[in-house]
Amino acid sequence: MSLDERVITQAILETYFEKFKSSLDLDVAIVGGGPSGMTAARLLAKDGFNVALFERKLSLGGGMWGGGMTFNMIVVQEESVHLLTDVGVPVKRYKDNYFTADAVAATTTLASAACLAGAKIFNCMSVEDVMLREENGVKRVTGIVINSSPVEIAGLHVDPVVLGSKYLVEATGHAVEVLQTLVRKNDVRLNTPSGGIEGEQSMWADTAEINTVKNTREIFPGLYVAGMAANASYGSYRMGPIFGGMLLSGEKVAADIAAKLKG
């Protein structure tokens, strides 16, 4: 069979824009393709919701690829192990409550599982702002403002485009980028002790892992924080290369949003 380059181009354009158009009115937009975002995307898609995940880089995975200090093995605790084994990541028990997994196997499998569950993945796409609406004096996040990452990296003056979403998951990790933008640009109060972003504290894995899950919640109408972003928002500790809290946070945010959407 001879190949026609124009047909190849047409196939890419038509299928990509079909995916893009079906994301104009999302149930859930997830920003950040780290372990918490990938897990949330998989579970929400599995539940049948219209969900898309936006990741600035070419590859999903965030801080999971490199294990600890590029020693590419990860550690998870027993309570979270099902979130790896359910998608087929091989794990090995390491003393009592600890399990290890290959960081590359875990990252690629979580990414693939989210995709195959039906989550639409937009890599190479940066979320630079949110869309806000006010009703009866209450402001709510109603969508995301996105741009192509190469445009962002090159610093080109190109306007973004906007997609609507009933809920937004801020899973951008330590930097809490989307929430930072919301707070910087608008006169808003978050559901935190100070009303702003509390910031992250130094290493304390045990407390941090528990708090990651506790802090996974709706911090502003329509906007949930998950993963390391939840800890940074509510002023908890960092935990280094243990990833169970990130996976459990993704599971919790998916369950909480699913419950809201199902009413």
Q: Is 253 annotated as a binding residue?
A: no
Chain mean position to CA 131: 18
Q: Provide CB contacts within 8 A for 116, sequence distance 6+.
A: none
Longest dimension (CA), the chain: 65
Structure tokens at 38: 């990938």
Q: Is 168 exposed, middle or buried (0-12, 13-18, 19+ CB in 10 A)?
A: buried
Q: Is 238 annotated as a binding residue?
A: yes
114 sits near ligand 48F (criterion: CB under 6 A):
no
34 sits near ligand 48F (criterion: CB under 6 A):
yes
- How many chain residues bind ligand 48F (CB under 6 A)? 30
> Around 262, how many Cα atoms within 13 Å sit in the side-chain half-sphere?
9
Options 9-17, 161-169, 183-191, 221-229: segment touching ligand 48F (CB under 6 A): 221-229
Q: Is 194 annotated as a binding residue?
A: no
Length of the chain: 263
- Nearer of residues 61 and 190 to ligand 48F, judged by Cβ: 61
| 131/144 Cα distance (integer angstroms) | 6
Options 42-50, 103-111, 196-204, 226-234: segment touching ligand 48F (CB under 6 A): 226-234
55 sits near ligand 48F (criterion: CB under 6 A):
yes
Q: Is the distance from CB of 60 to CB of 33 less than 8 angstroms?
A: yes
With vertex at residue 256, the alpha carbon angle to CA 67 and CA 140, rounded to the nearest 5 degrees, is: 105
Q: Is 133 annotated as a binding residue?
A: no
CB of 183 to ligand 48F, least distance (A): 14
CB of 263 to ligand 48F, least distance (A): 28
228 sits near ligand 48F (criterion: CB under 6 A):
yes
- 172, 211, 216, 233: which one contacts ligand 48F (CB under 6 A)? 172
- Which one-letter DSSP state was computed for residue 247? H
Q: Is 36 annotated as a binding residue?
A: yes
Binding mask 180-219 toward ligand 48F (x if CB under 6 A, else -) reads ----------------------------------------
* Nearest CA among 219, 165, 216, 228 for reference residue 189: 219
- 28, 35, 67, 225: which one contacts ligand 48F (CB under 6 A)? 35
- Nearer of residues 172 and 233 to ligand 48F, judged by Cβ: 172
Residue type (1 letter), 206: D
| 75/57 Cα distance (integer angstroms) | 24
Q: Is 79 annotated as a binding residue?
A: no
* Nearest CA among 112, 174, 117, 178 for reference residue 145: 178
- 62, 67, 143, 222: which one contacts ligand 48F (CB under 6 A)? 62
Annotated binding residues, as ranges? 36, 55-56, 63, 127, 157-159, 174, 228, 238
Residues that bind ligand 48F (CB under 6 A): 31-37, 54-57, 62-64, 126-127, 171-173, 177-178, 227-229, 239-243, 246
